[in-house]
Amino acid sequence: MRNFAFALFFLFLCVSCDMMAQEQIGLRLDKYSGVNSITLNPANSAHFALGWDLNLVGAGVFLEQNYLFASPTNIPDLLRNSDSVGFAPDIEGLPTSIPPTILVDFYNDNKTRFLSSYQEILGPSILININKNHGIGIQTKLRAAVGGFNIDNDLSYYKYQDIELGNPLEIEPFAITGMVWQEYALNYSYAQDIGSSRVSFGGSLKLMKAYESFFLDVSKPIISTKIENDSIAINDFDVRMGFTTASQSQEAFANEFTGQGFGLDLGASFLIEPDNGDYFARIGVAILDLGKVNFSTQSEKYRLQNTTPADLSAEDFNGVTTKDEAFKALSSAIIGDSLAAKQPAGYSLWAPTALSVQGDIQFKKNLFVGGSWVQRIPFSPLSVKRNNSLSLYPRFETRWFSVGVPLVLYNWQDFRLGTSMRIGFLTFGSDNIGSFVGKSALTGMDFYFSLKANPFTLNFFGGGGDRRKGKSVKCYKF
């Protein structure tokens, strides 16, 4: 069985090592992750080593892109020296007596461009393990995501500037979407011993109530010609866009829902040689965020389409001060009719659906190497897209303490090194520690934490806390 487990685990690593992450791996793969672990696989609730787990508060912030960078700096340094930041295209070739401490510049390479931002606040959430075989969980979350991938390299700053006047330019299709939504999830999983192994199946049903959203969908190649630095001739064009309007007439974020939908997570998990809450190896697979949100009110939708040549210039927007005026100017320049672009309100956005594969193996007591592969599954261009992500997570782990080093590859392109630590009921970490320490090219950031409560023993250093061991402080038993 052990030889089979090693072979299966390393097969998983080899198959997924070319893929890649806002997955906050230090919160998900730890054996004591509890209610946090069902975000990666809903079947994990039945495998939790303790009787119950209560999340008090948790949050994560993720941002990554490859369009521009600030260098040499990190997040704390950038905040301290925000008044000494220079923009490279403005100062290159110009004499300056005091050079900027931090230089912001654009990438000039051949990679396709992407932008990914994800923020999450995990509110009061609980997991209860009943009679060793059943897991029940409730999660409350506030989520915000913006994603755009496979954006044509010709839209890079230097690439576009270097295109000679009169030369044709073809922009490949791409889409950018974003959504802010509240999520309420009900989780259930069932586990059963099979010989020397243990298998569980689980699911999470989610109610999603959205505050705001937007989309930009370039559904076919844009055939164009650069005629001046601020003007372009468009020969073929078909772009759809839409957004909610609840906050547009207010100075602050409107705390009201503009859309609603349902989502579903489904998963299975397999423990090899489980032992009183411990195990030799764990393998899991899940489908995450299968569902969509419908926006019918407080939304606007436009389609800009032409089949005859049209010139688009900055002069078309002279005097434009409002959003309505901007869309009328676009519609007039591209279609020839200022009102033709507007369409009936209402659209749907798919949730950030993904395939999730996880693996974890205990080489020696308290020494683990885990990994996860998350691959986005966009059902439509109008999907909130998450990063493709692969991460390895070697760690030292006990009941009351763990420390690990996540190794993460983003979207087939960029490798990141992180760190994660759990001390008692507090977990914190980053999958991109370089954004906070050292000074290099800063392109994003990643940070997360979680504060929770679960069963504990009076013998703090005795390694207790398992629902089947130790003399616990009195609490309700499930």
Residue 48, pLDDT score: 84
Q: What is the pLDDT of residues 269-278, one digit of tens each?
A: 999 988 777 8
Contacts of 290 (CB under 8 A, 6+ apart): 263, 264, 265, 266, 351, 353
Q: Is the pLDDT of residue 442 over 60?
A: yes
- Dig out the tokens for 186 from the structure: 């009900």
- Residue 229 banded pLDDT, cuts 50, 70, 90: low
DSSP secondary structure of 269-280 = EEEES-BTTB-S
List, in order, residues 6 or more apart from 2 with CB less than 8 Å away: 272, 273, 280
Instruction: Give residue 322's pLDDT band: very low, low, confident or very high (50, 70, 90).
Output: confident
Q: What is the DSSP letter of 425?
A: T
Q: Tens digit of pLDDT for each residue in 141-151? A: 999 999 999 89
| Secondary structure of residue 323 in the 3-state scheme | helix
94 pLDDT exceeds 60?
no
Polymer length in residues for the chain: 478
Find the distance separating the first CA and the last CA of the chain, reported in whole Å.
33
Q: Provide the pLDDT confidence category of residue 292 given band limits of 50, 70 and 90.
A: very high
Q: What is the pLDDT of residue 471?
A: 38
CA distance 26 to 340: 50
Q: Is the pLDDT of residue 369 over 70?
A: yes
Q: What is the mean pLDDT of the chain?
A: 83
Whether pLDDT at 351 is above 90? yes
Residue 323 pLDDT exceeds 70: yes
Residue whose tokens read 């630095």: 229
More confident residue, 432 or 262: 262
Looking at residue 203, what is its pLDDT? Answer: 97
Q: Are 304 and 335 in contact (CB under 8 A)?
A: yes
Tell me the pLDDT band of 93, cut-offs 50, 70 and 90. low
Tokens standing for residue 98 = 């005091």
Can you tell me the distance from the alpha carbon of 394 to that of 385, in angstroms, rounded to the nearest whole number? 28
- H or E stretch at 326: helix 323-334
pLDDT of 339: 79
Share of the chain above pLDDT 70, in %: 87
Q: Once rounded to an integer, what is the mean pLDDT over residues 398-408?
A: 92
Phi, psi torsion values for 473, nearest 5 degrees: -60, 140
Predicted TM-score (pTM) of this structure? 0.84
Q: Does residue 458 have a pLDDT over 80?
A: no
pLDDT at 307 over 60: yes
Q: Residue 473: which pLDDT band, with cuts at 50, 70 and 90?
A: very low
Indicate the range of 93-97, 194-198, 414-418 predicted with least confidence.
93-97
Residue 438, classed as helix, strand or coil, is coil
Residue 477 has pLDDT above 60, yes or no: no
